[in-house]
Structure formats: C-alpha cells, structure tokens
Structure 1
Amino acid sequence: MSITATNKPGAYVQTQAAPTQPGRRGFLKQGAATVAALGFPSIIKAVNRPPTLRVLGTHVTLQEVLRQQAERDLGIQIEFSPGGDAEILLQASTDPASFDLYEQWSNSLKVLWQANAIQPIDINRLRYWDEINDLTKRGRISPKARLGSGDAPYKLLYVQADGRLGPQPSEAISFLPYVHNADSFGYNSAIIPRGTPYETESWGWLLEPTHLGRVAITNEPSIGIYDLALAVQSQGLMEFADMGAMSRVEIDQLFAIVMDFKRRGHFRGVWTSVPHSIELMASGEVVIESMFSPAASSLNGMGIPCIYAAPKEGYRAWHGVMCLSSATQGEQQEAAYAYMNWWLSGWPGAFIARQGYYISNPQRSRAFMSQAEWDYWYAGQPATEPLPGTDGRVSVQPGTVRNGGSYQTRFENLAVWNTVLDDYEYSLNKWREFVLA
C-alpha cells in the first residue's frame, strides 16, 4: 500500500500497490499471494517524486537483487552505498546526514549511539515486532541455549529511561532486529579431512602446523580478534577470564602469540571482503580461513567442497542491525520505516536464507521458501532436491545436511558475540601491528 499526494497541500490518499512476484520457481506463487495479503507498509510519495532512501552498509545485505525488489514493492527509490566495515562505521558516526538507514553489525551500536548518529526506533511503527523471536529480545533462542560472551544484542536493544541502551524492554529500540548468523570458519574438505560437528571441528584448526602458510583471517578487528582468541584458547595457549571483555594484559598476551605465528609464515594473509575470501580458497592459496556463510555457499556452488564448521567450542555469533539516522525526519523517515517493515515481511528473509543467513521472524519467510529449502536451511534436515543460492547456482546437493544442524541447535551453541571491547582503540592498534607484521 502506498500514499499518494492529492491536489490539496499536505493531503494524501491511500492506493493499493500491485504485488510483485519474487520470480523464483513455481512455489513462489504462494509467496506472491502472501505479499498481496500483507500489503506493504505505507510511505509518503509526493506527485512525480518518489522519495529516495539512502542506505549505508556492507555488501552482505546491500545486494542489488534486494534493492530492486524493495523498489518494486515499496514504490520508492533506494540508493545502496556498500563499503568496508571500518569505512562505513566512520562515515555513519561522523556524518549522520549522509544516510537514512545504516546496516551493519550489533558491535557497531555503542559507537553510533555514543556519537548521537542514530535515533530511537518506535516499536509501535514496526508491523512485525510481535513476531520477532527471543534470540534478540531476551538473548536466548531456547531456555537451554548458551548466552555467549560479549554483547549479546538484547543487552543493547532497548532505549532505557536514562537514554542508555540496555536489556529492559521499552517502547523504543536502537536497531531493527533482522539478519543474523552464527559464524565460524570454512575449510576445504578435499584437503582437510571432514570433522564431526560439535565434536572434532575446532577453532584450534586455524593454528594447526599442517596448515602453515595456507590460513587466512578476516581483516575486521572486532571480529578477527575473536577468531584468533578462540583458536588460541582451543589450542591451550592461553585462557580468557571473559573473552567478550578482554583486559589489556589478555590483549597483549593474545597478540604476542598470534604475532609469533605470523612471523613464522603461518598466515597467508587477511581478507577484506566476502569475494576476497572466496578467491583465496578458490585459487588454492588457503585451505582454511575465517569465513562468512555466503562465501561457503558460493564456493560449493563453484564445485569446491567448502565445509562451514560447527566448532566444539561454539560459534562466534553476529546480529545485523538496521539503524535510523539521527538526521532523518519527515518523508525520509516514513520511507525508512517502510523499508524496515519490508525487511521483515517475508521475501527478504527467504532470499537471505539461501546464503545461509537467518531472519528474526522466520515463520513469515517460510511461505516464500519451498518445503525443501525450509527443511534444509532452518530445520537442519537433508536436502531432498538441488537447492540454489542467491546467485541462482546450485549450492546444496540432494542428501546434504547443513553443518551444525538446525537454526535452534546452532544458536544454542554460542561461544561469543561480536563485541567492541572497552579497550577497542588499544586492540585496534594491536590489530594493525598484526596485519602489518
């Protein structure tokens, strides 16, 4: 549904927008019917001038297919500005007027909130708020789930009475809960014998001497530091009192250990984007590396047997955040809320499931997925037919089971959440030394 200006200043009438079919095989006819039943969120659209929504974020969610579908469904213009994690965080925190919505990870929230770069989001304007599950709202997907060290997103979700962010529910939130996943590392099973999920697969494999010179780490300081910490701890080289709140002494000890590995040529290098990580393994330069789920999916689509590990120590989890710029008001704000609601309306969640990501209200996306897709991606069951990734190429062969099992099982086994340490600047300097060593 859209709102179109009449010939009276400031007056608007509602018109029903024609639903669009997602265009993915026959079963999505059901999905198109669901779109029509839902009606997309209202936006304000002036005569002959649809608003342009500016979205700043990373390549993970700022994908052209998503932008085009949102434009068709919402009747607005959308500009995506993807960039590197550090680059866009700097822009967002210093120039909120340069964007309307910001898409990144929950570990960026403290920086954005303290910089007054984002404004509270009114949950009463979020159409699907009640459908969002307990993982984000309360920190655990089930009562027996491990909370995970560090900044579990629920700790930063709600705007408290004193203006700080905290876990006490309120009518205002700092971010829209949407995309999330439990990350680990990927390895080429043609070179490294396949392990057993939660039993033998281990973060310690990143530091195994047999992989000398063929290991890569993500060049994102607030993510890569935990991959290295989990590897070092699982190898028994040091222990952390609380990995999500490392002391300076622990940071020093950690980097002394990994710098020694670096000087001995253990690491092939660091990667700065998902395509870069794909290239490193596809070329044979690395056999094991920090990895995001879309990379593993793409490599399998290329015929390279990349296993996305289910480490016995637990996953490093992340949660996507969609934040509203403190400078966005009026018509732009209406468009921003429309886009936020669109992300939880079903089709986007089904799309990103095909690259291994989850959405905060998965049942709504189920109508946009085939039964085989749902069973594989969410239920942890064997694929009953070839399943495509987001690029259309088959990334899952029949009989394959998603490593790590179901959505619930994966999020019951968390080691740490991506977190910005209190001594972030100190750790950042150490990270730079590591990368340049």
Structure 2
Amino acid sequence: MSNTPSNLPRRKAIKSLAAASAIGAGLATGISTFAIGKEKPTLRVLGTHVTLQEELRKRAMDDLGINLKFEPKGSAAVLQKAAMDPSSFDLYEQWSNSINVLWRAGAIQAIDKNKLLYWDEINNLTKTGKISANAKIGAGDAPYKLLHVQSNNALSSQHTQHISYLPYVHNVDSFGYNTEFIEQGTPYDSESWAWLLDPSFNGKVAIVNAPTIGLFDLALSAQARGLVQFDDIGNMSTVELDKLFKVLIEYKRTGHFSGFWTSVPESVRFMKSKRVNIQSMFSPAVSSLNGQNVPVTFAAPKEGYRGWHGVMCLSSQTKGRMQDVAYEYMNWWLSGWPGAFIAKQGYYISNPQRSRSFLSDAEYDYWYAGKPAAEALTGTDGLVSVAKGHSRRGGSYEKRFENVAVWNTVMPTYEYSLQKWYEFLSA
C-alpha cells in the first residue's frame, strides 16, 4: 500500500482500531498496555528460529499492544552479532552457553528480579541445577552456575537480586534418526551417541554447525565409541581437543558427514530430502517431520542427553521506555500461553504450572508426564505430530532432565575449540 493521500484515512482508522484492540487485550489478560496517544513501541528481538516464530510474535503484539521485530538467525550468527553490536537488539534469545561470551563482551545488562512477575514460580532446574533429588547436574555450564550477578560483576550460583538472563524455554537434545533406514532402538539402552560415528552410516550423517553444541554431540559420540576419552567432557583440554579433531577430520575425509546445518528448517530439509538418515536434531524439527509423515525418532541415549536452557537477555544498550517494554515481554513469556504453545513442539517452560491450564489433559500428560497420548496431538503448525497411544521418547520432564550428560558450554578452551572446529569444517 502506498502512502498516498487517498490511503491516509483508512490507515488512520486501522491504527485507531488496533489501539482499541490492544487496550481490550490488556484488560483481558491483566498485562499492561501503552496509551492510545503514543506510538506503539517496537521491540527488537534477536534470536533463533526455535523461539522467534510468527505465531508467538502475533500473539505477543496482541496481548501487549506493541510492535515486535523478530530477527532469527543461526546460533553462531546470532551470538556473533549480539556480542559485536548490542545496539542492534533490545532482547536476545538463545541458549545459556552464550551467556559467558555476551557478559564478558558487555553486550547484556543485569535483570532485576523484582521486575519479574513470576520469579517465585520458576522451578529448581535453573535455581539449584537439579529438577529432582535424583537428577545429575551434568558437565559443563549447568545454567544455574551462570544465573546470578555478584557484587564484583561475576556470574555464579550464589543468589542475588540480579540475574544475567530470564530462564524460560529449555529441553534436552540428542539426535534424530529415520526408522525407514535405521532400526529403532530402545531408550536409555541400545540408543547411543556412538551411532553418529558409526561407519555403516557413512555419508548419511549431519551435525549442527555450532561449536558450542555440535562439538559436544561429536565428543559424546567419540567417547561412546571408545575413540577418545575425556577427564571432563564439559571442560576439554587442548590435548583432548587435538585428539578429538584428529579423529573427526579422518571421518570427514572419508565423506562420513553429508552436511552441517545452521537452523531448524535446514535440518528438516536435510532429513525430509533423505540427504541424511541420522543427525543432530532439536525437538521442533522432529515434531515437524513427524507431522509430515517422515518417521524420525528422537533418541534417548544411554550416555545421557546434551542439555540446553533458553536465555532471554537484556541488551546493555536498552534503556528507559524500551527497557520497560522488554520487561513486559519477558513477563509475557512466563504468563502461561507461550509455555503451552512451545510445549506442543516438545519444549518445557520454567514455570510449567502456569501453562497447565492452556494445555488439554492429553497434551500435558504426553509432553510433561511422559504418559501415552490419549488422542492424536497436533504440533505448533497444526499438523498431527503425535499419534494416539504414542509415548514421549525418554519419558517425563523429570526423567529426561535427570539424565543430562553435558550442557551446551563455552569452555575455558573456547577460542582453541573454535579454531579446531573451523579446521574440521574446511578439511
């Protein structure tokens, strides 16, 4: 539509109607909105395709009466842009392994817990590191270690009134495999990270192209196959990294890896096109493929999962009114509906009890309780992704997070691991 005079009355009417709708939404949800007389603020959110989805953007704009600009990129590109240019975003959404990089770069600022409406509801996974008494904390950067900002500006598990990120979506990751080509294994028994480096799958394997994520998928695989052993897989030494990448480069030169994906949609294309039969995967990709009748199973490896925790971070450059808007958006994410929405793609929220009423009994029992689906369930795309009678791979929320082998991590040897990762990609 052009900005000609003939269009201006209609544009003005639409703008007035939208403002009135925003007021109504605010009254209905209890979430504050902005005055009609003011121009709607535009909140810029930098992140990945995992959470920067159009349906979430539309719902948040309706509920909050704001404009939202989502900028989704691959995880490495997101981290690089955020660290180098904090003025380019107001909020950052990615994973806890990015916190150390962003904090050291001065790209993000501390978040005041007093401004978080649902802080007390957030469960112990990020407050203490354990979802239950039986849980393994997992190697590497367990998110609770990076949560609280200390008086000396260090990050640690010691509770303070300021935090480095808002805990929200999280999950455990592993790999997906197409059961048309690979016999289905048994969770926590025959399924193993070793499968990613199984020579019989040569040429049909893909890995996520993220040196703080894909690195651990491959390290877990190499260790499971007995090719390399680590004293602490969450804190690999340069000597251990040298041994690991020597093995990986040999695999790459044989054509073992078909590709390295940088986004969830790309991983879906890899598997749907049958370019690969097994690869690093995130839950939304598995859900999407199942909804398209591609028989992909999300493994529950006997060695344990690679855990990740979503972080929502406030840019160091976000001030004044935009900071207020950013806090409203952070609170919106924990207000119930968003957590229920992302549950349908296999993700958890940090205060699941508030999302419970937005899920049917069948949905909650399947996604959180690990029970068989009482009916066919749809994903976030509206397609059936869970057949009636199917049980979630790996069991309940608690069971899955009791079995974290390692978290996405930025190790002390991060710079060296980056160098080795790019040598591997170019080999």
Aligned to 1:392: 382
How far is 1:43 from its partner?
A: 5.0
Is the deviation greater in 427-436 or in 376-385?
A: 427-436
1:331 maps to: 321
Q: Name the amino acid aligned to 1:39.
A: G
Equivalent residue number for residue 148 of structure 2:
158
> Match of 2:107?
117
Residue 430 (structure 1) aligns with: 420
Does residue 1:51 correspond to 2:41, yes or no?
yes
Which residue is equivalent to 1:276? 266
Match in the other structure for 1:341:
331
3-state SS in 2 of match to 1:201: coil
Could you tell me which amino acid in structure 1 is paired with residue 98 of structure 2? S
In structure 1, stretches of 5+ residues that fail to align are 1-14, 21-34
Bigger mean CA deviation after superposition, 421-430 or 327-336: 421-430
Deviations 1:292-313 (A, max 9, x none): 0011101111111100000000
CA distance, structure 2, for counterparts of residue 117 and residue 433 of structure 1: 28
SS in 2 for 1:222: coil
User: How many Å separate the matches in 1 of 2:36 and 2:165?
Assistant: 28
Aligned ranges for residues 163-182 of structure 1 at < 5 Å? 163-182=153-172
Aligned residues of 2:75 and 2:263 also touching (Cα < 8 A): no
**Structure 2 counterpart of 1:239:** 229
Q: Is 1:67 aligned with 2:57?
A: yes
**Deviation readout 1:279-333 (Å, 9 max, x if unpaired):** 1111111111000001110111111110000000000000010000111111101
* 1: CA distance, partners of 2:35 / 2:262: 38
3-state SS of paired residue (2:248)? helix
SS at match of 2:97: helix
**1:6-31 Cα distance to aligned partner (Å, 9 max, x none):** xxxxxxxxx994249xxxxxxxxxxx
**Which residue of the partner structure matches residue 292 of structure 1?**
282
Which segment drifts farther, 62-71 or 42-51? 42-51
What letter matches 2:24 in structure 1?
Answer: A
2:309 to 273, 295, 319: 319
Aligned with 1:18 (options 19, 24, 45): 24
- Kindly report the root-mean-square deviation, in angstroms, between the aligned alpha carbons of the 2 structures: 1.4
What are the superposed Cα offsets for residues 108-156 of structure 1, whole Å, 9 maximum, x if unpaired?
Answer: 1011111111111010110000000000111000011000000000000
- The answer to whether the 8 A contact 1:43-1:338 is kept is no
The answer (yes or no) to whether the contact 1:43–1:334 under 8 Å persists in 2 is no
Cα deviation code 1:367-391 (max 9, x no counterpart)? 1111100000000000111111111
Match of 1:420 in 2: 410
Secondary structure at 2:321 match in 1: helix
Indicate conservation of the 8 Å contact 2:73/2:263, yes or no: no
Match of 2:293 among 303, 309, 312: 303
- The normalised TM-score by structure 1 is 0.91
Distance 1:434 1:45 in 2: 54
**Matched residues in 2 for 1:19 and 1:77: separation?**
14
Check if 1:264 corresponds to 2:254: yes
Contact 1:67 1:80 in 2 (8 A): yes
Structure 2: any 5+ residue segments left out of the alignment? 1-20
Partner of residue 185 from structure 1, selected from 175, 179, 197: 175
Q: Distance in 2 between matches of 1:167 and 1:356?
A: 27
Amino acid at match of 1:324: L
The aligned runs of 1:139-150 (5 Å cut-off) are 139-150=129-140
TM normalised by structure 2 equals 0.93
**Shift, 1:44, TM fit:** 4.8
Q: Confirm whether residue 89 of structure 1 aligns to residue 95 of structure 2.
A: no
Deviation of residue 91 (structure 1)? 1.6
Q: Aligned pair count?
A: 407
Match of 1:127 among 109, 113, 117: 117
Partner of 1:32: none
- Please tell me the residue identity of whatever aligns with 1:338: E
Distance 2:239 2:339 in 1: 42
Alignment partners' CA distance in 1, 2:140 and 2:227 = 21
The amino acid of 1:388's aligned partner reads T
Matches within 5 A, 1:189-208: 189-208=179-198
| 1:80 corresponding residue in structure 2 | 70
1:84-105 CA deviation, whole Å, 9 max, x = no partner?
2222212211221111101011
Secondary structure of 2:125's counterpart equals helix
Deviations 1:360-411 (A, max 9, x none): 0001011111110000000000011111111110000101101000000000
Aligned partner letter, 1:211? F
> How far, CA to CA, are the matches of 1:219 and 1:94 in structure 2?
20
Amino acid at match of 2:30: G
